[in-house]
Amino acid sequence: MRKLLLNSTAIATVAALTSGAALADVSISAASEWSYTSRSSQVAANDGTSFGTDGEITFSFTNKTDSGLTIGYVVEVESDDADSAINESSISISGGFGKVVLGGNDGVGDNYGVAAKDLIAEEATPGVTSSSIGSNSDIALSDGDDNKIAYHLPAMGGLTFGASFADSGETAGTDTTQFGAKYAMTAGDAAITIGAATATTEVSGSADTDSQNLGLKVVSGNVSFLVSQSEKTSANDDIQNTGVALSYKMANGMTVGAYTFKSEDELDTSEEYTSSGVELQYTIAAGLTAVINVDDYEYTAATVNAAGVIQGTSQADAGTNSKLTLKASF
């Protein structure tokens, strides 16, 4: 009898506490991957093999108010983040006016920009010893998941648009403003998407850092094609990036992809990076995928920068990078 009374009291207490509050829809998802990389490089420090791992758990909460607003809260926990366990944390408010996102999350450049390697599941392009050269044709951002405010307009036909602002603080710093837009349409059996994004980061006492991206994606049946261009300019850099990618989904659960990429700094004499690669994705089972990447690359180091100074941080390199990745989603 005592146990029944305690249970009844607990139920009554919970009911009283929740009677005036809306219950949120909660979802939990996770993703984890393990990789093995074998790299042939002219730079001794980069030549050899290595293991890699990455994982993330996402908690999402959604609540709809009586007034028609949708309130959301998202937290992403990065298990292999060396800096912080919390990778992203933001709230959102959406309704007929659009959507406002507040907190540590992506800027609109990531939401609307289109890069060629979006068709490639694993960006296995090897890094090189350079402080400036590009590695993909996406927009170059400096605010990452910093605390920011973002606004997304309601879709108008196939057009979507957004803007975001990250405030670096009271003292002179690196405030970042981003704008982005996408337009989706169909032409016969093909789905066409055009995406563009721009970002400006203020630099105290120097020229601002600006970046732009423009991309075109065409999907027809099992074939996808994407071409994109991006640019990053600052006091010491004028980097031009161009990428092209193609992928084909096969009936046996495999997806084959290929890409080519080029980056060059117009202000640093001779500096150029080129890479090309192929990728094979295979769905082993629901939620489990194997990805194989093989990339060839070549980097020509800068000899003289915009100020006429011989570069000491760049190091010429060329080689092949092969990578096996196992990806699990839950």
Give the model confidence (pLDDT) of 110-129 as tens digits.
Answer: 999 999 889 898 877 777 77
CA neighbours closer than 13 Å in the CB half-sphere of residue 59: 10
Question: Within 10 A of 140 (CB to CB), how many other CB atoms are there?
Answer: 23
Q: Which residues of the chain have pLDDT under 50?
A: 1-21, 310
Helix (H) or strand (E) holding 109: helix 108-112
Chain centroid, CA 253 distance in Å: 25
Give the model confidence (pLDDT) of 173-211 as tens digits.
Answer: 789 999 999 999 999 899 999 999 999 998 877 888 999
pLDDT at 15: 40
pLDDT at 88: 86
- Its sign, for the CA torsion 275, 137, 46, 295, is negative
Domains and CATH numbers, the chain: 24-329 (2.40.160.10)
Q: How many Å apart are CA 276 and CA 297, to the nearest integer?
A: 7
pTM score of the predicted model: 0.82
How large is the greatest C-alpha to C-alpha distance in the chain, in angstroms? 88
CB 289 within 8 A of CB 327: yes
